[in-house]
Structure 1
Amino acid sequence: MHTVQLLDTTLSLFSTALRSGSSRRRPRLSHEEFTSWAGRWRILLQDMGFLVEIPSDLLGSLHAASPADPKAGFCTEQHALLLPAATEDVFEADGYKPETARPNIIETASVETSPFETGNLGARISEAGAASAPDGQSTWLRMGGCDDALPFTESGFFDKFMTLRDVLEFCPGDQAGCATALAVLWLLRGGKRVAGSIGGSALHGTSSGPALEEVALCLESQGVHTGLRNLHKLPEAVALLRTAGFSVSPHKAVLGDHIFAVESGIHVDGIAKNPTLYETYPPESVGLERSIVIGKHSGRAALRLKAVQMNISLMETHENRLLAAVQKMAVRQQHSLSDRQFAALCESIKTSFGEKRHAAAKTGIRPLEKRHG
């Protein structure tokens, strides 16, 4: 498998949003705060192995802040040219023209160029790819759009661009909710580079490209070595996004705090026996922890595991009464129990059972204990 590159464009998205008149969601940062924030973001993303696109208006500030090796691990973004008509030739030749699947080709380079004439796409991209930026990095052309291209991936959609993979980076849109799938397919078919952002469209809108953390984990699950490392630091990226005023859903794939929380009895029992039955990657690989949620769907297996997690001694004779109490409380409050509520119920069951045994000992009558397998 060839080496793949995942380019994060978050800083460019934020820089655009901070400009007056931008329709993008604006981060909760002043221009001065953004420079400091961007430095931390760049260091963190590079530490995980992502490439980081640096907007031209931020390049000088980050160079000054990190003079030791300012060019390592990131790409400059200073110029963008749209080539709409050139791409239409590719689709008209094959007789199908999906409305939103038609790509937009954008040249990303760090040198001033003149707009390309529309014409033969392959020749134009090859010409652009021969150029190099002053910092020694190759010029890349960005292919955006393609939101509805997924149905066409088995009928030659990617084949038209694969000969240009050395100069073409893919940044599919997410209007159809398929950006991650398209990006993964591009790389599995032989593409070399994908541009997107941490969090993807859930944070930055449908035109921001795929969620890079989802692309990375999908590739890893297919046995593709991405060269990424330290993905257990992804919660730090989430924390930085929150300081910029962005809300990350606790159920967001890969990033959400609650994605490894399980309640259903059969799920809990299966995970206890073999985690890979329900988890394509271990929680610790992305800096998260597995948690057992106690609620109306919980069974005795969940109670046992939760008690072990919380270092609570739970006798087998307590399980049925505790399960009934848990389900009753969950139904009454219309949501799962907190750890504090669960601990309190465990204590009340043990106390109640102890008092009954004490009363029975005084009268010489042994209380009946329901046995179960």
Structure 2
Amino acid sequence: MALLYHISDASLCSVPQDAPVPLLSAYAQLLLETGIDRLEMPFPVWERLKLAVPAPKAALVLRSPQEREQALREGVPAFFAEGSVFAASFPGAYPDVTVVLSADGRGCLSGVLPDAGRCAGIRAAGFADGMAGDYAAAFAKLRVAVGSLDAEDSRHLATAASLEWLLAGGGAVSASFGGAGGRAALEQLLAALRIICQQPYRLERMPRLRMLFGELFGKPVSAHAPVTGPEIFTYESGIHADGIEKNPKTYEPFPPEDVGRARRLSIGKHSGKAALRVKLQELGVRLDDAELERMNTRVRAESTRLRRGFTDAELLELEKSVHGRR
């Protein structure tokens, strides 16, 4: 099935300047393998990645006319950074460059609107408050002049806005893996399009992307992050786990295999002694009835305090502390 939507990732616009080139290259190539159209990046990042990313798969964020001239020579699609003095002062003067204008929640653009046909396109950036109002009417107004949307996430609605923009017939969106730079979360947008529109984005790349993102940006992604978190398919024994066993769609919007994950049973405050005994035996620990009772009491207390279940490593550490083992 051919992909119906045009999506670019802009997380490379927020990448640390000292990021190693091999790591940058691996991350960029893996992003493209998901099926998205392009990678947006500033010129310094492009200079380091041009051997790994084909020119048609890049989109350069320009900050000067000189960078525009170089992009033109190298055949790389480009657009002016939002608020750039060049975009504001010379709209329509660069027919090969997309102009970025701010959009409010009513679909009104700020700045000088270029003459039709005198620029490569117009992108609307912002729209932070748009989803709180009549966004369908705002989108209808924007689509007359705008080819793409770069929704801003200060109200935590950028992903929803980007999805609705595409479903309403908007031409393209800019997102960002992990929501980097305050944009729509690429992984959530791709998952939604796969579920709702059966678009064949390769979500099985997500675990590896999550790992590279953490290394590249120097901060781990939450284990419970939507789509990418390794714990999102971990279930505590009890009615929840029983429901999953009988019908996974009761709780899961998509199978774990779609995003390169697998289901895992966790122990928490709803677990009984029988489930706890089985889990500990799986981990190589055997307890008598008295030890199991003490362990179950601590499990429920600690799980209530943590407001979640235990990982296997945490469960083993708790067992050692309960019974004085080292």
User: How does the TM-score come out when normalised to structure 2?
Assistant: 0.71
SS of residue matched to 2:173: strand
1:192 aligns with one of 168, 171, 175: 171
2:43 alignment partner, one of 29, 35, 56 = 56
> Which consecutive residues of structure 2, in runs of 5 or more, have no partner in the other structure?
63-79, 89-102, 320-326
* 1:235 and 2:219 aligned: no
Residue 101 of structure 1: which of 89, 96, 105 is its match? 105
CA contact (8 A) 1:292 1:305 kept: no
Aligned match of 1:179 = 158
SS at match of 2:207: helix
**Matched letter for residue 11 of structure 1:** L
- The amino acid of 1:175's aligned partner reads S
Q: Distance in 2 between matches of 1:183 and 1:46?
A: 19
Change (3 A) 1:304 1:171: farther
Tell me the SS of whatever aligns to 1:156. Answer: helix
Q: 2:224 aligns to what?
A: 251
In the comparison of the two structures, how many residue pairs are matched?
A: 278
* Counterpart Cα distance in 1 of 2:238 and 2:34: 36
Displacement of 1:177: 1.3
2:263 pairs with 1:273: no
Structural mapping, 1:323-334, within 5 Å:
327-333=296-302, 334=305
Change (3 A) 1:178 1:209: same
Q: Quick check: 1:70 aligned with 2:78? A: no
1:337 deviation in Å?
Answer: 4.4
In structure 2, the CA distance between the partners of 1:101 and 1:305, relative to structure 1 (3 Å rule), is: farther
- What residue ranges of structure 1 are gaps of 5+ in the alignment? 15-26, 85-98, 107-116, 132-138, 347-373
Alignment of 1:1-373 (within 5 A): 3-14=4-15, 27=16, 30=18, 33-50=19-36, 51-63=38-50, 65-66=51-52, 70-78=54-62, 79-80=80-81, 82=83, 101=105, 118=112, 121=113, 124=114, 126-128=116-118, 131=119, 139-153=120-134, 156-164=137-145, 168-200=147-179, 204-205=180-181, 208-225=182-199, 227-229=200-202, 231-244=203-216, 245-263=218-236, 265-299=238-272, 306=279, 310=282, 327-333=296-302, 334-335=305-306, 336-339=309-312
Relative to structure 1, is the Cα distance of residues 306 and 161 closer, same or farther in structure 2, using a 3 angstrom cutoff? farther
Look at both structures and tell me which one has the larger radius of gyration over its CA atoms. 1
Q: Cα deviations across residues 154-200 of structure 1 (Å, max 9, x unaligned)? A: 551111022345xx211111111111111110011111211011000
Label 1:257 to 1:140 Cα distance change in 2 as closer, same or farther (>3 A): farther
The alpha-carbon distance between structure 1 residues 305 and 141, as it changes in their structure 2 partners (threshold 3 A), is farther
Please give the secondary structure, in 2, of the residue aligned with 1:253: coil
State percent identity of aligned pairs. Answer: 29
Q: Which amino acid aligns with 2:143?
A: M
For residues 239 and 224 of structure 1, the distance between their equivalents in structure 2, rounded to whole angstroms, comes to 26
- 8 Å CA contact retained: 1:295, 1:326: no
2 CA distance for matches of 1:53 and 1:164? Answer: 22
Deviation readout 1:256-291 (Å, 9 max, x if unpaired): 121111226111000011111101111121122222
Q: Which amino acid aligns with 2:214?
A: R
Normalised to the residue count of structure 1, the TM-score between the two structures is: 0.63
Tell me, yes or no, if the aligned pair for 1:162 and 1:191 is still in contact at 8 Å.
Answer: yes
User: 1:163–1:322: structure 2 CA closer, same or farther, 3 Å change rule?
Assistant: farther
Q: 2:277 touches 2:292 (CA, 8 Å); kept in 1?
A: no
- Superposed CA offset, 1:3-44 (max 9, x none): 202211111222xxxxxxxxxxxx3x62xx443332222111
User: RMSD of the alignment, in Å?
Assistant: 3.6
